Amino acid sequence: MRMRTMEIGVGFLMLAGAVALVVLALNISGLSLANQGGGYRVYARFENIGGLTARAKVAMSGVQIGEVTAIRLDPKFLVAEVEMRIRDDVDYLSTDSSAQILTAGLLGEQYIGITPGAEDENLKDGDRIQDTQSALVLEDLVGKFLFNKVSE
């Protein structure tokens, strides 16, 4: 009987370890088991999104306020159109807010930083942020630097 209790205990610990690994993997990858359906959609156009991906964070003053839900090419303007979902409790972004693609660290992940504006009217579901700044692509900077050195 004592051996059976020990086997059940070891089995329980193995199961708890497996669950802990799954939770850790979900947290690291940014996935969530909860339904993230809330919030309102905001769009922005960028000439170059660099390495921005869907599920990238949308932040204001370093605090995450939403996430990128979709990225597609706008066939009319031939630029990238980014769809963002902003949390419902962040209902104070004015229509003249600006969005820029930033990098966390020197070579880290890219995300969208929102700078609030001063207008009285706020963004609502389906609105577009007009003032945008594209990603700073390291390869482009190195290429320009080398080209300028060769030209001199």
Write out the DSSP string of 86-147: E-TT----BTT-EEEEEESSSS--EEEEEE----SSBP-TTEEE-EEE----HHHHHHHHHH
Q: Is the pLDDT of residue 137 over 80?
A: no
- The pLDDT assigned to 36 comes to 58
Residue with token string 């088991």: 33
Q: Is the pLDDT of residue 151 over 80?
A: no
Other C-beta atoms lying within 10 Å of the C-beta of residue 114: 23
Q: Is the pLDDT of residue 73 over 90?
A: yes
- The pLDDT assigned to 96 comes to 93
Q: 44 with 60, same domain?
A: yes
Predicted TM-score (pTM) above 0.85: no
CA torsion through residues 59, 109, 54, 46, sign: positive
User: What's the number of domains the chain is made of?
Assistant: 2
Q: Is the pLDDT of residue 152 over 60?
A: yes
Q: How far apart are alpha carbons 47 and 119 in whole angstroms?
A: 25
- The pLDDT assigned to 30 comes to 62
Q: 24 with 55, same domain?
A: no
**Domain carrying residue 99:** 40-142
Structural domain includes residue 59: yes
- The pLDDT assigned to 79 comes to 94
Q: How far apart are alpha carbons 140 and 92 in whole angstroms?
A: 35
Each residue's pLDDT tens digit, 15-37? 999 999 988 887 776 666 555 56
Structural domain includes residue 148: no
End-to-end CA distance of the chain: 85
